[in-house]
Structure 1
Amino acid sequence: MKTILAAYSGVLKGTGSSILSALHDVPLGSWPYRSKMEKQIQIISVMQWVLSFLALGAACTGLLIYMFWTDCWLISAVYTAWLIIDWNTPKEGGRRSSWVRNWTVWSYFRDYFPIRLIKTHNLLPNRNYIFGYHPHGIFCFGAFCNFGTEATGFTKKFPGIKPSLATLAGNFRLPVLRDYLMSGGICPVNRNSIDYLLSCNGTGNAVVIVVGGAAESLHSVPGRNTVTLKNRKGFVKLALQKGADLVPVYSFGENDVYKQVIFEEETWSRAVQRRLQKLLGFAPCLFHGCGFFFGNSWGIVPYSKPITTVVGEPITVPKIEAPSDDAVDLYHEMYIKSLQCLFDRYKTRFGLKESDILYIQ
């Protein structure tokens, strides 16, 4: 009873977090369904992100157009005017919010899988960095949780470093979704945005690029460790031009949270996927997870599999405004070797066998 009164008094004082603290103090025997309820909250926290990423932008665009033909047209007009004025903000460092990055919902998001962030080396705040994130998976859950929120304590583990996760530029053309993404410190993966962060925003910036992109997601299946990297050299050239150190990052378990139907390379189904990838910027994958209420049914809820993101040792990169192809190839090869070493060193600690191999294509 004292616990319940304490929680109620917290609400009266405007501190909703007191309810969560008080409920966690309730003995397990007095609330037999506590673990099930907590699991459902975790699922909801994950699904709000999945559905936001898939449908929030399209839904808000449709609503904005619809409101122009109603009595609420003035709201749409004002928002559209502000959208035009604010159009370049994503390319100029965005508009991150520490409040949003520290939402309690992200802690439930983290605990569902769970997701962990492992630091192997210190990063100096007087340098800028480009993190190469591997593998893409289906939704990049590890990348978002570790670098788009503070759920795994990035800023505490890497003091003085500000992460900016780069994603499809098209997402920042959609109303409301663009603001949601920017609040987490997420930026467009284009030259203007990355140039600004690495050249006009001081030091201590870490741009996180999912190097394999959409092409890599087509190879995302449980038990397969495949990254698309051999011909991906643009991020290395950019690092040389800006003098930003390269940091390999590998997420063990990222490919395990969904099961995907993989089509053979010579089939028409794979050709359609490739074609749509070029047109849309992302690859339409045929995948499934588990159901919302029953774990043994099919659905869009990801499987509860641990994801461990390991941030490797930085590769010091000199600043060369016009790097030669040989210089790019040299640092690209150094990056591949560093990623390979990172994978081999930590694979047995996070669920893989000694015989498991990282395939680089």
Structure 2
Amino acid sequence: MFWHSPKLEKCFTRPWRMLAASVVFRIPLMRELSLLFGAVDASRATCERLLRAGVNVVVWPGGLDEASSADAPDEVRLRTRTGFIRLAVQHGTPVLPMFVFGELDAVRTVSPLPSALAHFCQKKLRISTAFAIGRFLVMPFRVPFNLCVGKPVPVKQCSEPAAVDLEVARVHAEYKAELQALFESNKKQFGYADRKLVFVCEQAGTGERTKKAKAA
């Protein structure tokens, strides 16, 4: 809904479309609502077609992997993939970090399945088995949403695989640093003072390196 705000529209001179999971467009009513809000299928082909046409692409990189934030109320977990950054590098499109304060408090998630089975469905089937519960069960809680816009990360367009990898690593590092700065500078103002930002990808990488070290 933020993307239909006149304030945000003034920040961009190009048209925009947001990405949604492919399964959304197979569900009646949800498909129509998604299209109404400007969403399109989050396939690679769709992204490339939009970028070639000069359209801004709005993406939530974390997806289902960030739904586990409810398990740790003192943490805000972000899954920082690099696929969208690779596309930005290949098309020479700057990356603009954004963060919405308040989403974690809008609903509470409850999963009726055992954690192992829920994790399997999430990883293998790419579906969530959790239910979102709010006021009167179906309505979100009355909490303010505050969208904070960071500084755009400039991107150098590359085509050689080695150059692309180096540029992706640089842009990814700057993207995370800007998100961290955006979070830290605004968390007290918007009620996240007791929460810390955690990049899940870095936790996973640390765990893998520890296991390898023990095995060696």
Mapped contact 1:163–1:207 kept (Cα < 8 A): yes
Mapped contact 1:243–1:319 kept (Cα < 8 A): yes
- Give CA-to-partner distance per residue, 1:146-193, whole Å, 9 cap, x none: 12xx246432x3242322110111222455654442232211111011
- Alignment partner of 2:57 out of 204, 207, 213: 207
- Alignment partner of 1:320 out of 137, 158, 173: 158
- Alignment partner of 2:67 out of 185, 208, 217: 217
Residue 146 (structure 1) aligns with: 2
Task: Give the letter for the 1:154 counterpart.
Answer: L
Decide whether aligned partners of structure 1 residues 220 and 327 sit closer, same or farther in structure 2, where only a CA change above 3 A counts: same
Mapped contact 1:241–1:323 kept (Cα < 8 A): no
Q: Once superposed, what is the RMSD of the aligned Cα atoms?
A: 2.4
For residues 1-361 of structure 1, what are the structure 2 equivalents within 5 Å? 145-147=1-3, 150-151=4-5, 153-155=7-9, 157-174=10-27, 177-199=30-52, 201=53, 203=54, 205-220=55-70, 223-229=74-80, 232-261=81-110, 269-291=114-136, 299-324=137-162, 325-353=165-193, 356-361=195-200
Question: Percent of counterpart pairs with the same letter?
Answer: 26
Decide whether aligned partners of structure 1 residues 162 and 304 sit closer, same or farther in structure 2, where only a CA change above 3 A counts: same
Of the two structures, which has the highest relative contact order with CA contacts closer than 8 Å and spacing of 6 or more?
2
Shift of 1:233: 1.2
Question: For this pair of structures, how many residues does the alignment match?
Answer: 197
Mapped contact 1:218–1:285 kept (Cα < 8 A): no
Structure 2 gap ranges (5+): 201-216
Shift of 1:218: 2.3
The TM-score, its normalising length taken from structure 1, stands at 0.50
The runs of at least 4 consecutive aligned structure 1 residues that moved more than 6 Å come to none
Decide whether aligned partners of structure 1 residues 188 and 340 sit closer, same or farther in structure 2, where only a CA change above 3 A counts: same
